[in-house]
Amino acid sequence: MRIESKENASQRLKDALEFLNSAMDNLDKNRFKAALVDAADASIAANDAFTIFMIEQKASTDHREAIAMHKKAGQKVSENRVAILKRLIDVRHKKGYRSVSVSKSLAAQCVADATKFVRWVQEKMSY
């Protein structure tokens, strides 16, 4: 866990939107593994924005810590999207780091999930 100034939340949200746009572009161009990885990265960056904004903390490089911090930050708004975050992190590990192909349907689902997650973070940060 790292302490982060609340001002850094907006930059991480911008990063999330950049990854999300890249994921959409990759999906449109049939680069399915890249779309999946970018979708997961969008969610990780959005989660950083969320936790920084809510509790002025972000996870280290351990994604299990990111999930726990998401739950903690979610207590501030009495809700969370941990299921989406966990699903995207898990699929990134299962597909992104291995010599396996990614189907169009899986990539599309990841982009859709990341879009929901990033939009939810934007709403909670009132952007």
**27-60 burial by CB neighbour count: b if 16+ within 10 A, else e?**
beeebbbbbbbbbbbbbbbbbbbbbbbbbbbbbe
Return the biggest CA–CA distance within the chain. 40
pLDDT recorded at residue 87:
98
How far is the C-alpha of 38 from the C-alpha of 41, rounded, in Å? 5
Phi first, then psi: what are they for 3, rounded to 5°? Answer: -80, 135
Closest CA to 30 of 114, 121, 111: 111
- Would you state the structure tokens that stand for residue 50, as one six-digit string? 């969320």
Q: Specify the CATH number for the domain of residue 28.
A: 1.20.120.330
Distance of CA 83 to the CA centre of its chain: 11
Over range 73-93, report the average pLDDT.
97
Domain encompassing residue 103 = 2-124
pLDDT recorded at residue 127:
53
State the pTM of this model: 0.96
Distance of CA 3 to the CA centre of its chain: 19
Instruction: Specify the number of domains making up the chain.
Output: 1
Over range 56-73, report the average pLDDT.
93
